[in-house]
A and B are shown apart, each in its own frame.
Chain A
Amino acid sequence: MARVAVDVVIKPEILDPQGKAILSALARTGQPGVSAVRQGKHFDLEVDDSVSDADLEEIAGTLLANPVIETWTVTRMAPETVRSVDTAGTFDTAGTVRDTR
């Protein structure tokens, strides 16, 4: 098993009105130093060893992202950061959620 992160962001040339709304909200929170925000999506995948890098690109480029409007990055996480989730939806590492970064 491996853990894979897929990050999807709207292409720079496509207007991101949600990012703009977040930017204007940030200005109101007393953080005027932020000059741009692009909102995206993050996917955590747990995949077995049969899934190749090419498979991951296909997964990202055909379903997780729409190549017409979005770009994506696929990152295989280091093996020690793999964590499993039990059926109750909580992490099984002695009741604590590990920071995987």
Chain B
Amino acid sequence: MTDRAADALVPTTAARIGVITFPGTLDDVDAARAVRYAGAESVALWHADEDLAGVDAVVVPGGFSYGDYLRAGAIAAQAPIMRAVIDAARRGLPVLGICNGFQILCEAGLLPGALVRNAGLRFICRDQWLRVENTDSVWTSRFEPGAEILVPMKNAEGRYVAAESVLDELEGAGRVLFRYVGDGPAQGNPNGALRDIAGICSADGRVAGLMPHPEHAIDALTGPTDDGLGLFVSVQDWIGTALTGAGTHA
């Protein structure tokens, strides 16, 4: 078998991961690139689609869907494709929301809490250290417990808030996925997010959201690190075990 023939076989066995584009989405191209970099097939999904084309997982990428009108993510949460995402997520489909995607998942009720204006009112654009707090979720299984990763963040409405009881529940159940960490003026909690929360997941660890951008950190040539690749590889481990029934997640 030639190398070319081996390459041709990849798409038929690779995980198929959908990447949604809404009007105003910015990071769908990078998210699709990260999916392919991690060895999966990326499937373009459109906001007006009503089904998910049979994908194994979905990424809701960042940007300014519908111009952030009403509230960031509020209009997108009502889009036809999100009806399908919500139904599929409730049946266990892995879903990752990044930045505006995280805001959309919160507005859609798939994740608790909300993202509001940064405490300093500024749009914050910088490379940010995060600690991976939970390495059992579908999207973080490839990280070492307590690993610290450096990925870009860029948002004006990234301050995570929720009721105290919700925060306690998230902490108690290990559903805080990522926390802002690091010393120095350019690190630590950048926006006043409650309990330094940068990302959370659902009770079953399959629906995850975070404000910083792992899809921009997949190659040291174009990002600060390749730390973000871990999320896109982790989900394929889960899809692989789910498809073969070999793992504990089937």
Contact = CB atoms under 8 A, between A and B. Distances in A.
A17 B192 CA distance: 11
Interface in B101-135: 106-107, 112-114, 116-121
A27 to B, nearest CB: 17
A21 B119 CA distance: 11
Contacts of B70: 63-64
B78 interface: yes
B233 to A, nearest CB: 32
Interface in B186-206: 192
B71 interface: yes
Interface in B143-190: 159, 161-163
A18 B117 contact: yes
B121 A17 contact: yes
A66 interface: yes
Interface in A1-26: 10, 14-15, 17-18, 21
B107 A66 contact: yes
A68 interface: yes
A74 B159 CA distance: 28
B161 A14 contact: yes
A45 interface: no
B71 A66 contact: yes
Contacts of A69: 114, 116, 161
Interface string A51-63: 0000000000001
B161 A18 contact: no
Contacts of A15: 116, 119, 159, 192
Rank and list the top 4 A-B pairs by shortest CB-CB distance, nearest first.
A68-B114, A69-B114, A17-B121, A17-B117
30 contacts: A10-B116, A14-B116, A14-B161, A15-B116, A15-B119, A15-B159, A17-B117, A17-B118, A17-B119, A17-B121, A18-B117, A18-B121, A21-B121, A63-B70, A63-B74, A64-B70, A66-B71, A66-B74, A66-B107, A66-B114, A68-B106, A68-B112, A68-B113, A68-B114, A68-B161, A68-B162, A68-B163, A69-B114, A69-B116, A69-B161
